[in-house]
Structure 1
Amino acid sequence: MPRTKFQEVVFALLMCFFMVLAMEVYNTAFRLGGMSNACWLPALWEMRIMLPTCFIMSFFFMDPLAQKLTFAQLTPGEDRPILVILVRAGITVALMCPTMSFGATVFFSGFHAEFVSVWLQTLVRNFPMALCWQVFFCGPLVRRLFRALFHRQLQTA
Structure 2
Amino acid sequence: MPQNKLQDVVFTAMMATLMVYCMVVYNVALNTGDVTAMTFVAALHELPIMVPIAFVLELFVVGRIARKLAFSVMRPDDRPQLITYAISICITCIMCPVMSLIATLLFKEPSFGMWIKAWAMNFPMALGLQLFYCGPLVRLVFRSMLKVKRWAFSLTVAKAA
TM-score w.r.t. length of structure 2: 0.89
Deviations 1:84-133, CA, capped at 9 Å, x for gaps: 1111111100000000000000110253xxx1111000000000000001
Q: Distance in 2 between matches of 1:18 and 1:41?
A: 14
Counterpart check, 1:72 vs 2:72: yes
Counterpart check, 1:124 vs 2:110: no
- 1:90: which partner in 2? 89
Point out 4+ residue stretches in structure 1 off by more than 2 angstroms: none
Counterpart check, 1:38 vs 2:34: no
Amino acid paired to 1:145: V
SS in 2 for 1:120: helix
RMSD: 1.5
Query: Aligned ranges for residues 21-36 of structure 1 at < 5 Å?
Result: 21-36=21-36
What is the number of residues matched between the two proteins?
151
Counterpart check, 1:148 vs 2:147: no
Deviation at 1:33, TM superposition (A): 1.0
- 1:63: which partner in 2? 63
- 1:6: which partner in 2? 6
Amino acid paired to 1:40: F
Unaligned runs of 5+ in 2: 155-161
SS in 2 for 1:75: coil
Q: Distance in 1 between matches of 2:108 and 2:91?
A: 25
SS in 2 for 1:150: helix
Q: Distance in 1 between matches of 2:109 and 2:58?
A: 22
Deviation at 1:153, TM superposition (A): 4.6
Amino acid paired to 2:113: S
Say which is worse superposed, 49-58 or 66-75, in terms of deviation: 66-75
Q: Distance in 1 between matches of 2:9 and 2:113?
A: 34
Q: Distance in 2 between matches of 1:153 and 1:103?
A: 39
